[in-house]
Structures are given as C-alpha cells and as structure tokens.
C-alpha cells in the first residue's frame, strides 16, 4: 500500500540530498521516478534540484496553480512508480491534497522533502497540509553550533545578524540562513534587540 511521506528538517539537514539519493535508489531498481519541485524555488535554476553537497538532477517545476493530479493523469503513458517532491513547503495546500489523491487512487508513493517552519517558527501552508495528511512524518536532523539539535531556520541579514521580520519566503543558502536550536535562536534575537 502506497503512502504519502513528509520528511522535514531545518536548512542544512540534507533534505535535497536525501531526495536525490532516494531517486537514485528507486531508479537503480528499474523504477520510474517523477522528480518535482515548486517553481517558487529558483535558487539553482527552475528545473534543477541541487543539494549543498553537489548532487543535482533535472526535475519538473510547477506553479502553485498547477493541478498535479491532472498532470499525473495526462502523463499516463510514462506512468511513474514513485513521486519525489523537493522544497515541499512551497506546495499549495491543494497540491498536497492532489498528491494525496495520487497515492490513494493510483497506489503510487509520494515522498515530500521540505521545511516544516519558516524563520519565525511559523508553519508554511504546504507543510501544514502535509502534517495533516501524510501517512508517515519523519524529521531529518542536523545540529546547532552549540551541539544541540537544530529546530529553527534562523534568517540572517547581510551583516550576519538574526532577524525576525520580513516576507515568509526569501530564497537563500548558508549566507542567509543558519540552523539553530530554539535556545540559541532566542538568545540571538534578544542580543539583536538590546
């Protein structure tokens, strides 16, 4: 029985690397994989899924208005045996529901990799819907500079100070975000307001 999976972690927890490794493992077994990502993620090019460690693959990018269930049905001739989604936090809630329908109707597993919360520790709409609908939810872990488990995507300004104001979506890498434990994040916020 296929499942909808949500594998979440903070920035730097190897989500994209895990997505690409998973794709490789399925393909090594002769299975067809549909690698997709939201078009909102343009950091490495519209149709590129790239990890910080250098793995990369071409995938399909879709705007939030695209009906993923409809696209899946249109591509029936190239039937996919698994779907892997990178940057799943940027999915529209309706797209999460469409992926859920693919799982239930076509018995195709869907593995979603993404952030759970933003730099203010607030859920992304796509992540919230995944937490509500996924059959399996697991955390990909990384550590804070203090050695504790990182749970916050701390956003940095150009001087490297932690900030808590701004748009929910701001694309960036190590220059813009740092994984932190909640305690260190709170300390950094208080330090900036003193």
Order of strands across the sheet that contains 4-8 = 60-62, 33-38, 82-85, 110-114, 4-8, 136-139
Mean pLDDT (the chain) is: 88
Percent of the residues in the chain that have a pLDDT greater than 90, as a whole number: 60
Radius of gyration of the chain (CA): 17
Q: Is 22 helix (H, G, I), strand (E, B) or coil?
A: helix
Cα distance between residue 97 and residue 17, in whole Å: 25
CATH fold for the domain made of 4-139: Rossmann fold (3.40.50)
The pTM assigned to this predicted structure is 0.88
Q: Is 87 annotated as a binding residue?
A: yes
- 3-state secondary structure labels for all residues of 162-187: EECCCCCCCCCCCCCEEEECHHHHHH
Residues whose CB falls within 8 Å of the CB of residue 78, separated by 6 or more in sequence, listed in order = 32
Cα distance between residue 151 and residue 183, in whole Å: 10
134 or 187, which is more confident: 134
Which DSSP string do the residues of 83-129 spell out, in sequence order?
EEESSGGGS-HHHHHHHHHHHHHH---EEEEE-SB-TTSPBPHHHHH
Q: Is 149 helix (H, G, I), strand (E, B) or coil?
A: strand
Q: Is 146 annotated as a binding residue?
A: yes
- Residue 40 pLDDT level (bands cut at 50, 70, 90): confident
- pLDDT (0 to 100) of residue 56: 79
Per-residue pLDDT reduced to its tens digit, 120-161: 899 999 999 999 999 999 999 999 999 999 999 888 777 777
**What would the mean pLDDT of 6-31 be, rounded to a whole number?**
94
Catalytic annotation, pick one of 47, 57, 74, 87: 87
- pLDDT (0 to 100) of residue 172: 54
53 or 43, which is more confident: 53
Q: Is 57 annotated as a binding residue?
A: no
Number of neighbouring beta carbons within 10 Å of residue 155 = 20
- Per-residue pLDDT at 194 exceeds 70: no
Tokens standing for 184? 């260190």
Q: Is 172 annotated as a binding residue?
A: yes
Per-residue pLDDT reduced to its tens digit, 73-111: 998 777 899 999 999 999 999 999 999 999 999 999 999
Q: Is 74 a catalytic residue?
A: no
- Per-residue pLDDT at 19 exceeds 90: yes
* Cα–Cα distance list, 148 to 52, 173, 182 (Å): 21, 21, 9
Question: What residue segments make up the domains of the chain, in order of their start?
Answer: 4-139, 152-193
User: Cβ(26)–Cβ(82) under 8 Å?
Assistant: yes
């Amino acid at each position: 029985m296929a499942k909808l999976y949500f594998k979440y972690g903070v920035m730097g927890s190897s989500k994209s690397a895990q997505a690409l490794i998973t794709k490789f493992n399925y393909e090594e077994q002769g299975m067809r994989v549909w690698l997709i990502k939201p078009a909102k993620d343009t950091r490495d090019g519209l149709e590129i899924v790239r990890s910080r460690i250098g793995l990369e693959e071409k995938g399909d990018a879709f705007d939030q208005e695209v009906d993923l269930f409809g696209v899946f049905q249109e591509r029936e001739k190239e039937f996919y045996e698994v779907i892997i989604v990178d940057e799943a936090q940027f999915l529209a809630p309706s797209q999460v529901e469409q992926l859920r329908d693919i799982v239930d109707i076509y018995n195709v597993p869907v593995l979603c990799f993404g952030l759970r919360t933003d730099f203010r520790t607030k859920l992304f709409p796509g992540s919230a819907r995944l937490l509500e609908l996924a059959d399996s939810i697991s955390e990909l872990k990384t550590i804070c500079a203090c050695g504790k488990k990182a749970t916050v995507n701390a956003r940095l300004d150009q001087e490297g100070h932690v900030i808590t104001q701004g748009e929910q979506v701001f694309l960036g890498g190590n220059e813009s975000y740092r994984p932190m434990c909640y305690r260190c994040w709170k300390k950094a916020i208080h330090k900036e307001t003193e």
